[in-house]
Structure 1
Amino acid sequence: MTNAQKLILQIFDAWRAESFPSLDSGTAFEIFASELVLRDYGLSLEDVQSGVVGGGQDGAIDSVYVFFDDILVRDDSEIVVPGSKPSNFGQGRTLELWVIQTKRSAKFEETALDKLENSLRRFLDLTIELNELRDLYNEEIIAKFNLFRTAWRKLLTRRPKIRVNVAYATPGNAQGINPQVEVKLNALRSFIETAVPDNSGTSVELVGATELVALYNERPTYSLPMQYQEAATSGNSHVALVKLPDYYELIVDERGRLRRHLFDDNVRDYEGNVSVNQDIRRSLTSETGPEFWWLNNGVTILCSAATSAGKTYSLENIQVVNGLQTSHEIYRVLSDNPTISSDRMLLVRIIVTDDIATRDQVIKATNRQTAVSDSSLRATDEIQRNIENSFLAHGWFYDRRKNFYKNDGKDPARIISIPMLGAAITAMGLARPDKSRGKPSSLLKNNEDYKSVFNDKIPLEIYYWAARLQRKVDTFILSLGSEATVSEKSNLKFHLSMLVVEKLNGGPVRTPQLLRQLAVDDLEVKEDDLRDLFTKLKEWSNAYLDAEGVILERATKAQRFTEYLLTKAAADRANVATD
């Protein structure tokens, strides 16, 4: 065993003991390796778990993820919902598929690659309907590939950039593989390039112990230099004119990839080929037009320190909080043609502050100057800051500032994202796990939904209590003790949380404030009770599926199923009372 193999297994064992002590090593390694492979995307623990599909009828596929313009595609993402049209999306946007196979054993096997290729031959063949594959593969794999196919078909007329990535990760030696494995890798790569003829990049890689250690040790860089041409200073902050290639060097890494983590605090995502971005691109590529910075509002950078020497700023703890569209267009144009616009400049505002409230004010103010919906500014709300401070007092971490605590090395099992907390409160405090399951992204978008779970009338202790309970449920349902199928792991966790609250409360809770007594008393569910309740949930679910003739994924997104479960729970409680 090499040093790298020893190291990664020790790292994994420590990570598992801290984050998922009750999980079997195989499932835990799937989550661990998938997070490392996708580290550049800054996924939360819940996001990583959502893509794990291994565990029976998986066709040698352990995880599947779909990204649209670097954003994880979920069931309610605009690109896949039935009502959206191809014309809603710009030309040339990027659709990526990631397929990950992991093994805890320290070797790479030919048979795993054979099975993987056979599976992808079916899933990437658009002449084969996914429903025809239900006898071969579990529901979750089919659901993930349905997301990819739906987005692919919708974007066909928009000339998308399709990228298919396959990673086979083990603690083995990726440099010491036998020739047969290399042949299988090349065959898989060739097949994908043929199956997706319009693809703009195919990656089929082995990720061994050395690569996993390197990924684990890789930390995003937030302190970087930036050259400038002219600048004005007021106090500790600055306004500078920066050549476009110099700004490009700030926002890309050594491999020419966009440093996505520099935009974590930005309030909105890249919007693709909308008219504003088309204008930015034309300004960037025009050789005869006015100066670029005359036509563009520029970008705003927040940082903790900015020192200047020889017309180079040294910036620490950088966040680009305004100008994401401009930054993406600069990245796209200069990546395609590095010499274009070499003498043109960008206006860059550099604001130095460590004060969290001031940072939130700057984010909100600079983004109010352009059309930004209120939903995009949720993370700066006072209620969100109060929840973060409440969690900190208990040694937990609320990820209001995306990836802030993850990048600071905090225990991932104690980091709670805004969407995860919103979904937990919706399931437990509104008795609507169907919304938690079916609309995971909508809480920050729909004002009514947001206000129903995030408002100052809900005591802060409720949020902390609900987060811990949901994390306990999540961990249990992934464990061997739950005896859950792949589909049950993905679809029933919020319904189980609702039933736990129903049991603790003696009835369903439909107003979050009514969770207060449970939170004040710090009521917990015992492992045996959780197992018993989950057994009943599975029995009730199977009876419902047989009666209605639907699959679990569809049932769990319907309020009718939720009310059916609550009726069953009430009847069960009444039977216990009379016994």
Structure 2
Amino acid sequence: MPAVSPIEWDIVEARVTAAMAQYGPSRASLAFVYVVLEQYFPDRASDYPEMIVDGGNDLGVDAIEILEREDRAEILIFQSKHRTSLDSTDRTINDGEVLKIGSFLHGLFDREDRLLKTGNLQLTEAVARIWQLHKSGIICRYRVVFCSNGKGLSPSATCILDSTLQSMPGVEYEVYGPTEFMRDIGSSSREREIGCLQVIGKEAFERTDGDIRGVIASVDARSFVEMIQTADKRSIKRHLFDENLRIFLGANGGYNSNIIQTAVSDDSHLFWYLNNGITITCKEYAFNKGHANPVIRIEDFQIVNGAQTSHSLLEAYKRSPETFENVVLMVRVYATARSDITERVAVATNSQARIQARDLRANHSVLKKLELAFNAKGYFFERKRNMHAERDPKKRIDALKLGQILLSYELGEPDRAKADSDTIFGERFNSIFHEGHAIDDLCRLVELYRLIEEMRDTHISRQREVIEPSGEHQYLVYGHWFVLYSTHLILTQKNASLPEGEEARKLVVEALTLVATACGTVKSTAQYQLFRSSKTKGRIIADDLPLRISSRMD
């Protein structure tokens, strides 16, 4: 019997089909990996090719992402199983797949050389980065995510995995299946959530103003964690953050080590004084006023501010539940039926926390004018995330992606386009987005970058079928922003304008050669690090750059 309903099957497969069109993978099983990554890292589409290791000699791993957080790091290891028909969804993830993951983890922790000799560039880069983190004294926590559009782990596979991880205290696992997909991609039809918060003493202050009422209370942090955690207690209910401007999806928001440390320390009683608390909007709430230790019952609620605190509290609770007896959390609960008030609360609470997010810039006049200008040229500029999701992917231009393109090409900072993309809608906004841009040039620039992405995707696709660790095209995987940067160097040297069509393709090839020549002699540095360093620009801008360019013109 199928593990999912026909409707659930159709919804997930529609996402797979869309991923095939948007990312151009060679097979549906790989498109499914993209769909999974979209749920965990929704704003990082350009990074997916670096995360995905699926292909030749992948050692049973389909994707790896390393999230560095101050003195800690979280490493997510994905294994994906895509079933090709509704009837086949009753198949489980078997013992062999779990054993592959176990073998990979053992090799990772034992520093086995075989992990660096697979010929799989992305896998090698990830392993080298992890080992470097260990050498630097960084505490790493690992989470293995088993993804499937069918059933999850078989009972025997679960036993094998639990046994394997007993000797690996820093490793956890979760299953991401149809239920989780429906939870995360079905936010518009999310179930009505009811939660309960335990007030400490009589520390609850309430007021009412027309069509909105609110209560500010000191609550037992344990009741909050229990309210937001999933049934398996491994992660948070992500649909509770759908209306959070800095939406936390999976590992996209990250831990805050200071929050965790405070919650698990001997000074955990100071948490109320050191943390800004949580803001919740809901349709209705109720509690026994005047009673000691009342329970606030919240109906149909959303956490609009405090995603990082929420995730960090759950992490702290998993590490040391016994310390939570003294952790008190300040919570603001606002009840209203007006959606405009809910939105204003979300914007105001995030703004007051000095959060610079693209959502707070979405209605900026410059972006609105860019939207109109691009629309006149047949493109759909997305000031807000996925605001034109129904349009042809080749005609959609995401605001973040355009910002990265301009930061690399016009401002000459390809290293920051990758590593400091948060500044695009922060302190760099006015220097990146302004009315001095000529829309025709922007259109040509976007298409030039898409040529680079196309070459990158083609190389990665071939690399997965037949391992090709060498050659100039390998620098497209991690260095595509530097290739775009190099096209600007070449055009400036030639005093030429942005080309189109075949001339644009020739320019990209020339820029790629420039990058490969400059970086090919660097053997001791991983590509991931190489293309996050401003020093790499110095290697490209060599003294003989004019000579190299002019020799190609002859």
User: Which TM class, normalised by the smaller chain length?
Assistant: 0.5 to 0.7
Partners of 1:123 and 1:334 in 2: how far apart? 24
CA apart distance, 1:52: 1.2
State how 1:539-558 maps to structure 2 within 5 Å.
Answer: 539-545=513-519, 547=521, 549=523, 553=527, 556=531, 557=533, 558=536
State how 1:249-288 maps to structure 2 within 5 Å.
Answer: 250-256=227-233, 257-260=235-238, 262=241, 264-266=244-246, 272-274=256-258, 278=261
CA apart distance, 1:428: 1.5
Whether 2:12 is the aligned partner of 1:30: answer no
Partners of 1:155 and 1:271 in 2: how far apart? 18
Whether 2:460 is the aligned partner of 1:459: answer no
Q: 1:541 to 1:345 in 2, by over 3 A?
A: closer
Aligned to 1:19: 22
SS of match in other structure, 1:427 = helix
Equivalent residue in structure 2 for 1:239, among 203, 214, 219: 214
Aligned to 2:124: 142
The answer to whether the 8 A contact 1:299-1:348 is kept is yes
Q: Which amino acid aligns with 2:236?
A: L
CA RMSD of aligned residues (A): 5.3
Partners of 2:462 and 2:214 in 1: how far apart? 59
Equivalent residue in structure 2 for 1:201, among 168, 172, 176: 172
State how 1:35-434 maps to structure 2 within 5 Å.
Answer: 35-36=35-36, 39-40=39-40, 42=42, 44-66=44-66, 73=67, 77=68, 79=70, 89=71, 95-101=74-80, 118-126=103-111, 128=112, 133-154=115-136, 162-167=141-146, 169=148, 187=160, 190-194=163-167, 196=168, 198-199=169-170, 201-202=172-173, 218-219=186-187, 221=190, 224-226=193-195, 231-242=206-217, 243-244=219-220, 247-248=224-225, 250-256=227-233, 257-260=235-238, 262=241, 264-266=244-246, 272-274=256-258, 278=261, 297-301=276-280, 306-307=283-284, 312-315=297-300, 318-321=302-305, 324-325=308-309, 328-329=312-313, 332-333=316-317, 337=321, 346-348=330-332, 350=334, 354=340, 362-363=348-349, 366-367=352-353, 376-377=355-356, 379=358, 385-386=364-365, 388-390=367-369, 392-393=371-372, 394=375, 396=380, 398=382, 405=386, 420-434=401-415
Q: 1:250 to 1:432 in 2, by over 3 A?
A: same
Q: What fraction of aligned residue pairs are identical, expressed as a percent?
A: 13
CA apart distance, 1:323: 7.9
The answer to whether the 8 A contact 2:382-2:399 is kept is yes
CA apart distance, 1:549: 4.8
Per-residue Cα deviation, 1:83-123 (whole angstroms, up to 9, x for no partner): xxxxxx4xxx6733313355687787887666655544433
Number of aligned residue pairs: 500
SS of match in other structure, 1:362 = helix
Partners of 2:353 and 2:421 in 1: how far apart? 21
Equivalent residue in structure 2 for 1:490, among 454, 477, 496: 477
Partners of 1:482 and 1:506 in 2: how far apart? 33
CA apart distance, 1:313: 4.7
The answer to whether the 8 A contact 1:421-1:467 is kept is yes
CA apart distance, 1:478: 0.5
CA apart distance, 1:165: 0.6
CA apart distance, 1:36: 2.0
The answer to whether the 8 A contact 1:265-1:319 is kept is no
Partners of 1:199 and 1:25 in 2: how far apart? 35
- Structure 1 unmatched ranges of 5 or more: 67-72, 80-88, 369-375, 510-516
Per-residue Cα deviation, 1:288-347 (whole angstroms, up to 9, x for no partner): x9xx8688654334x5x744567755456x352358437743774499649966997734
Structure 2 length normalisation: TM-score? 0.67
Q: 1:300 to 1:366 in 2, by over 3 A?
A: farther
Per-residue Cα deviation, 1:241-292 (whole angstroms, up to 9, x for no partner): 4544664455334444324562842499666343x76556679965xx9xx8
Q: Which amino acid aligns with 2:170?
A: N
Partners of 1:455 and 1:499 in 2: how far apart? 21
The answer to whether the 8 A contact 2:33-2:62 is kept is no
SS of match in other structure, 1:167 = strand
CA apart distance, 1:232: 1.0
Partners of 1:294 and 1:543 in 2: how far apart? 55
CA apart distance, 1:19: 1.4
CA apart distance, 1:353: 5.9
Structure 1 length normalisation: TM-score? 0.65
Q: 1:297 to 1:534 in 2, by over 3 A?
A: closer
Q: Which amino acid aligns with 1:433?
A: P
Q: 1:344 to 1:172 in 2, by over 3 A?
A: closer
Aligned to 2:201: none
